[in-house]
Amino acid sequence: MIKFEHVSKTYPNGVKGLQDINLEIQDGEFIGIIGMSGAGKSTFIRTINRLNNITEGSLMVDGVEISTLKGQTLRQYRRKVGMIFQSYNLVPRISVIKNVMSSLVPDMPFWRVLLGLFSKEEKISALEALDRVSMLDKAFVRTDQLSGGQQQRVSLARTLTQNPSVLLADEPVAALDPVTAHEVMDDFKRINEELGQTVLINIHHVDLALEYSKRIIGIRAGKVVYDGPVSGMTQEILDVIYSKDEAE
């Protein structure tokens, strides 16, 4: 379980990224996070893997206050929190399977990293992850030969090899056409249902958020203005979330 208690984030320039966030996320939930650009959606999900440190409050994951984690303990924690970015972050000139196996590097001895040696079990794990996102047939293709949607699926497969309990996705389909965006969202939904992994997706497309999520968190000016089931979402609530009036 992830628990936010009076969490705020203020950047060095004084901008308030988050303001007094209080909520709980249960294991296995599929949550869509919506809001205007700059509302604090990315800040919110990046506090969970400590890419952003909170400045006030408490953020507990499975009973552990993550703001106190340091060094190896923090690195081990981050292995359980997978992150998928809009930009894929793949190495273009190597094969798909090597990109996927690159997620294993932090746990490998230096000499194996230096020589690029992966065990049979690690290769099988990478192939299984690719199979989960329907990319097994592209395992030995160079990554720069793939479409944007295919590259995002490879990015997702790479994250799956970490065996994370939580998947964070920061605008994973923003650069994709509608058909491909649905295909990638289908992958997230299937992983959530089959593996029971908690999924939090910061998503620009409200229609996709409402279609795939079971719970919506609406953020405006760093504050949670809606937190509830998709069935409770109304046009009036959407108007509040996407209001351009910043006078609060």
pLDDT at 122: 85
199, 201, 206, 209: CA torsion to nearest 10: -10
Residue 195 domain-assigned (yes or no): no
Average pLDDT value for the chain: 91
Residue 95, CB-side half-sphere exposure with 13 Å CA sphere: 15
pLDDT at 194: 92
Q: Is the pTM of this model over 0.85?
A: yes
* Number of domains, the chain: 1
Residue 146, CB-side half-sphere exposure with 13 Å CA sphere: 28
Tokens at residue 114, please? 């230096």
Distance of CA 163 to the CA centre of its chain: 14
Q: Which structural domain range is residue 115 located in?
A: 90-163
Residue 152 domain-assigned (yes or no): yes
- What is the C-alpha separation between 93 and 90, in angstroms, rounded? 9
Residue 63 domain-assigned (yes or no): no
pLDDT at 245: 63
- What is the C-alpha separation between 120 and 182, in angstroms, rounded? 33
Tokens at residue 247, please? 């006078």
- What is the C-alpha separation between 44 and 225, in angstroms, rounded? 13
Question: Percentage of the chain with pLDDT > 70?
Answer: 94
Residue 70 domain-assigned (yes or no): no
- What is the C-alpha separation between 52 and 25, in angstroms, rounded? 18
Residue 131 domain-assigned (yes or no): yes
The three state secondary structure string of 5-65 is EEEEEECCCCCEEEEEEEEEECCCCEEEEECCCCCCHHHHHHHHCCCCCCCEEEEEECCEE
Name residue 95's beta-bridge partners: 142
pLDDT at 115: 58
For residue range 104-133, list pLDDT tens digits in order: 776 666 556 555 677 888 889 999 999 999
Residues of the chain with pLDDT under 50: 247-248
pLDDT at 247: 40
Residue 127 domain-assigned (yes or no): yes
- What is the C-alpha separation between 150 and 180, in angstroms, rounded? 9
